[in-house]
Amino acid sequence: MELVNGSYAIQNVNALDICAQFGTPVYVYDAEKIVNQLRNLKMAFSGADLKIKYAAKALTNISVLKLLRKHGAGIDVVSIQEAHLALKAGYTAGEIMFTPNCAEYEELVEGAKAGLMLNIDNLPHLKRFGEQFGNTYPCCLRLNPHIMAGGNLKISTGHSNSKFGISVYQIPQIMEIVDQHKINVTGLHIHTGSEISEADVFIKMAEIFFSVAREFKDLRFIDFGSGFKVAYQDGDAVTNVYDLGLKLTKAFTEFCEQYGRKLELWIEPGKYIVSDAGNLLVKTTVVKSTPSVTFIGVNSGLNHLIRPMMYDAYHSIINVSNPEGPQKTYTVVGYICETDTIGADRKINEVTEGDILAIRNAGAYGFSMASNYNSRLRPAEVMVINGEAKLIRERETLGDLLKNQVEINL
């Protein structure tokens, strides 16, 4: 969203016109930005045999999935339901990496029946997989490198107390199971978390990875996950993907030479691809002054964007209706009956009731984590593509809340 001639627009489509057409609250995604981020990654890793597996959990709208597939991205899914969405979006089974965590073993079996690449992250399921499939079905192993990355335990997944992956200290147990059942391990996977800005973290992870990889003789790929940091406010440190691409490609190429053949390098970006492309447009319901704080109430909340309350995440907030007014200090809150702060003590151009605010950088883990808490309805989703705003998800209705409820006679 850019300020052009005094008005905010996405691909020259006026943001206020989008609200007038589709109502509020509404998630709006810029398709051009999504595609550009994908291109940036391809260029950054141009020296490697790169496969990008978009992390679907960031934003699962089927139109977004189709857009990414059209422009050459594969996909990583974490539930069998996400796998079915990917198949519906046109992905072939071979393009889908399936990485469930603490799910029922039967999901892995269903994934195998569908032909997905299975990413197994615990020893009990690896053992059951070996007993059932032996060497007849290839798989990937998710490892925990015991690296704290990202600076926040809620989003770090590779530290010693994380539930994700099989500990690198359990390699002897892994090899015992693999050898016993002759399991066909064709890939290794590590994902240490989100918000990682330093390329050196990935290089440190790679060193651990490569030492383990030498134990497996039939690898086809190594998957480094993602966690690339994006900017949520001015001055934020971000991942320099071009620096990372050069360093990681160099290290990976050297490993492949030692390993004896060229492997594919996989990454699984989600937030990096869609975060900055998304805005949540909301309407001001009230401007409420107290002796200490001036609150802006809006017709949305943690039910639509839980990241500020769940992760203490920062999202920039702008007044789309009054982009050039004097700035005042506000705390923006939602309409949920909980402490529901979207942004505290923010400098925002003067706000009056009815103004449209944009919550920026909301493309990742926004709608995909939305709920019906307080029996509130989830918003519409719109994609701006080729200079046109298109509805890609209808706003929920009361009927949607009731359709799966079963009334009983009392």
| 54 touches 76 (CB < 8 A) | yes
Point out the catalytic residue in the list 102, 139, 256, 337.
Answer: 337
Q: Which helix (H) or strand (E) holds 385?
A: strand 380-385
Residues forming a β-bridge with 357:
282, 319
Q: Is 102 annotated in the active site? A: no
| 147 touches 191 (CB < 8 A) | no
Q: Which of 17, 21, 76 shows the shortest CA–CA distance to 52?
A: 76
> What DSSP string describes 294-335?
EEEEES--TTT--HHHHH-----EEESS-TTSPEEEEEEE-S
| 358 touches 333 (CB < 8 A) | no
Cα dihedral 330/336/340/342 (nearest 10): -60
Please calculate the CA angle 116-76-174 and round it to the nearest 5 degrees: 70
One-letter amino acid for residue 151 of the chain: G
Active site residues: 337
